[in-house]
Amino acid sequence: MPVESVTLRIAGTRLSGDLTMPDEAAGLVLFAHGSGSSRHSPRNQAVAAHLNGRGFATLLLDLLTPAEDQADAITREHRFDTTLLARRLTGAADWLAARTTDLPIGLFGASTGAAAALITAARSPELVKAVVSRGGRPDLAAGALADVRAPVLLLVGGHDDTVIELNEEAAQRLTAPHELRVIPGATHLFPEPGALEEVAAAAADWFTRMTRPA
């Protein structure tokens, strides 16, 4: 399936992304990568490929510029800046909406990217139709959780004890329809055999149910 390299200009910043658009796509999922990750993440690429096979377009986007990413590798000054990440993710969602006016948009966030996804969903309730978090830090979006209107699926590894607790606490603040699902035997990055495949299938099912007409 062809991948189009795109450049988005958001608030004076150029961000790079990879857009995959299946024929007759019925929805589009925008990925928000986590701490120290990028659009080249093999985990998110695997999830995106599964979504493409289920008829979803995907945009894997770098929320940091190359210079910011290099600095962040040393200082970690940007990866927990959820205000910055959410502002850029919201701009990307607006860009997608203008380009693909008839496709419902879902957000897939990993680690700190999940917080950015939830903040974006709270800011753009008319635009974001569903959110999936993989090993996410929804607690970092605490101030926005009550304003999220899109259905939220929280996926956490069964051996990721601290993140399970953080997701449980965040789930209590969500007023939108939501589900916390623990993947048995999985750790934070879901490297165990079959774990990432389970994440991808659960995400595809959630987006299908929540973004497509019954």
The 10s digit of each residue's pLDDT in 98-128 is 887 789 999 999 999 999 999 999 999 999 9
Q: Which fold does the domain 3-211 belong to in CATH?
A: Rossmann fold (3.40.50)
- pTM across the whole model: 0.94
The answer to whether 63 and 32 are in contact (CB under 8 A) is yes
pLDDT tens figures, 48-104: 999 999 999 999 998 888 788 777 677 666 667 888 999 999 999 999 998 877 899
d(CA 120, CA 122) in angstroms, rounded, equals: 5
> What are 157's strand-pairing partners?
183
d(CA 179, CA 181) in angstroms, rounded, equals: 6
Q: If residue 85 lies in a helix (H) or strand (E), which one and from where to where?
A: helix 82-99
Q: How many CB atoms are located within 10 Å of the residue 148 CB? A: 26
